[in-house]
Amino acid sequence: MEQMFYEKLIRIIPEKRVLRDEVMKKHTTFRVGGPADFFVMPGSREELRDITVLCKSEGMPYYIMGNGSNLLVSDRGYRGVIIQIYREMSMITVDENQITAGAGALLSKIAGSALEAGLTGFEFAAGIPGTLGGACMMNAGAYGGEMKDVLKEVTVLTPEGEFTVIPAGELDMGYRTSVIEKKGYVVLEAVIALEKGEHESIRKRMEELREKRVSKQPLEYPSAGSTFKRPEGYFAGKLIEDAGLRGYRTGGAQVSEKHCGFVINTGNAEAKDIMELMKQVSERVMEKSGVLLEPEVRRLGDF
In 3D space, the residue among 293, 295, 289, 275 whose CA is nearest the CA of residue 243 turns out to be 289
Is 249 annotated as catalytic? no
Pairing of strands 71-73, 145-146: unpaired
Choose, from 181, 241, 276, 296, the residue flagged as catalytic. Answer: 296
42 alpha carbon, distance to own chain's centre: 17
Choose, from 226, 256, 282, 284, the residue flagged as catalytic. Answer: 226
E strand or H helix that includes residue 41: none
Compute the chain's Rg from CA coordinates: 20
Is 215 annotated as catalytic? no
- CB hemisphere CA count around 6 (13 angstroms): 13
Q: DSSP string covering 122-161, please? A: -GGGTT--SBHHHHHHHT-EETTEEGGGTEEEEEEE-TTS
User: Which residues are CB-contacts of 153 (< 8 A; sequence separation ≥ 6)?
Assistant: 165, 166, 167, 168, 190, 191
Judge residue 71's burial from the number of C-beta atoms within 10 Å of its C-beta, 0-12 exposed, 13-18 middle, 19 or more buried. Answer: buried
Choose, from 45, 49, 176, 284, the residue flagged as catalytic. Answer: 176
Is 7 annotated as catalytic? no
Cα separations (Å) of 27 from 15, 33, 67? 19, 9, 6
Q: Which sequence positions are flagged as catalytic?
A: 176, 226, 296
